[in-house]
Amino acid sequence: MINVLFTSVGRRVELIRAFRRAYKVLDLKGRIVALDVDPLAPALQEADHAYVVPRVDALDYITCLTRICCAEQVDLIFPLIDPDVPILSRHREEIEATGARLAVVSSVAADIITDKWLTAQFFSELGIRTPQCWLPESLEADNIEYPVFIKPRRGSAGKHAVKITGPRDLSFFCGCIDAPIIQEFLPGPEITNDVVCDLEGEVLGVVSRQRIEVRWGEVAKGVTVLYPGIIEACVRIARELRAIGPITVQCIFKHGVPHFTEINGRFGGGVPLAIAAGVDAPLWLLSRAAGLPIEIPPLGTYKVGLYLTRFDESFFLSEADVEQIRSRYI
C-alpha cells in the first residue's frame, strides 16, 4: 500500500487522475492526499482526503504537514508549485522522520534552481548553452543589444516577466521588479522537458514538448518533439543536480540552437502530455515505491507529434461541501 501526498494541488486535476489510473494499472492499494490553502482548489475534489493548510511560508506549516503525514501514513510527497520546493528540502529530515519520502531535490539543488542567476551559472559550469545574463548593478544599459528579457530572480509561473525594447523601459522595470535578472532575448520556440527521476536519482525518462499557447503560466496547447541533443543535456543536468523525483527543464531556441533557461523541481503543468506520449511518471514512480517490476522503455522513446489542447471543466460545491473541506484543517 502506497499513500501519496501532493502539496499546493491547485488546478492539477489531470495529474491526480493520472496517479489514480496508475494505481489501477498496478493493482496497487493506496490513498491520494491533497493539500492547498484554498478550499476551492479544484484538485482537492479528486483526492481521497483533502486538507486546507497554512501557506508554505507560515511558521506552523511543517508541523501541520508532518501531522497529516502521520495521520495518513504517507509514503511519498510531491510538491506542485515552486515555492514549496526549498521549504520541503530544508525540512527533509523532520518530514521523512514520519516515514514519508520526499520526491524533492536536495536543499543545495533547491538553492540553484530557485535562483535564476545561480541556474545560469550552473548551466555555464556544465558547458551547456544558456542566454547571456546580467544583474542590474553590473549592467550598462546603453551597451546591450535590445530586446532583452527581465524577470524576478526567484519568480515562477512567468509572473512579472517582461520583454524590454530600450534603456528607458529597462530602467523603469529594474525599479519595479523585486531582485530582477536581465537575460538575452530568445525568439523561440520554447521547449519544456519533463524529466522523471526515481528516489535514488536514476533518470527514467525525458519528454520534450513545444509550447504553442500558454495561459496563466501553464501550457494550454503543446506538441511533443524530439531533439536528441536536448534529451542528452537534460539527462546530464538531472545527474549533475542529483535530482530526486520529477523536474522540468526549460530551453528556448535562438538561431536553431537551444539555450537552457530554467529548472523547476516538480511536475510541470503540461506533464499530462508527457504521460500520454508514453513516459508515464505516475506509473513508474508508484511501481518503484512499491517494489513492483515494470518495464521502462529506453530514453527518448515516446510518441512524437502528439498534441495537447486543453479546456476548462467545473466542480460544483454547496456551502456544506466547502465547510467540510475547511473543517479538515489540522
Q: What is the mean pLDDT of residues 303-314?
A: 94
Task: Round to whole Å and give the CA distance between 199 and 238.
Answer: 12
Q: What is the mean pLDDT of residues 37-61?
A: 96
Instruction: Please name which of 264, 267, 258 lies closest in space to residue 129, comparing C-alpha atoms.
Output: 258
Domain with CATH 3.30.470.20 in the chain: 4-113+188-326
Q: What CATH topology corresponds to 132-184?
A: Dna Ligase; domain 1 (3.30.1490)
Neighbouring-strand partners of residue 175: none
Instruction: Please name which of 5, 7, 243, 291 lies closest in space to residue 105, comparing C-alpha atoms.
Output: 243
Instruction: Please name which of 43, 77, 28 lies closest in space to residue 244, comparing C-alpha atoms.
Output: 77
Neighbouring-strand partners of residue 223: 210, 307
Handedness of CA 252, 258, 264, 267 (dihedral sign): positive
Q: What's the CA angle centered on 133, arms 172 and 88, to 5 degrees?
A: 95
Q: What is the mean pLDDT of residues 27-43?
A: 97
Q: What is the pLDDT of residues 158-185, one digit of tens each?
A: 677 888 888 888 888 888 888 889 999 9
Q: What is the mean pLDDT of residues 244-257?
A: 96
Domain with CATH 3.30.1490 in the chain: 132-184
Q: What is the mean pLDDT of residues 22-39?
A: 97
Residue-level pLDDT at 304: 98
Task: Round to whole Å and give the CA distance between 273 and 222.
Answer: 8
Q: What is the pLDDT of residues 191-248, one digit of tens each?
A: 999 999 999 999 999 999 999 998 877 889 999 999 999 999 999 999 999 999 999 9
CATH 3.30.470.20 fits 4-113+188-326, yes or no: yes
How far, in Å, are 40, 129, 136, 155, 258 from residue 152 at the CA level? Answer: 28, 21, 11, 5, 22
Q: Which residue has the higher pLDDT, 188 or 285?
A: 285
Q: What is the mean pLDDT of residues 56-73?
A: 96
Residue-level pLDDT at 141: 59
pLDDT classification of 124: cutoffs 50, 70, 90 = very high
Cβ atoms within 10 Å of 57's Cβ, excluding its own: 9
Instruction: Please name which of 38, 29, 32, 7 lies closest in space to residue 18, comparing C-alpha atoms.
Output: 32
Q: What is the pLDDT of residues 290-301, one digit of tens each?
A: 999 999 999 999
Neighbouring-strand partners of residue 5: 33, 77
Neighbouring-strand partners of residue 4: 32, 76
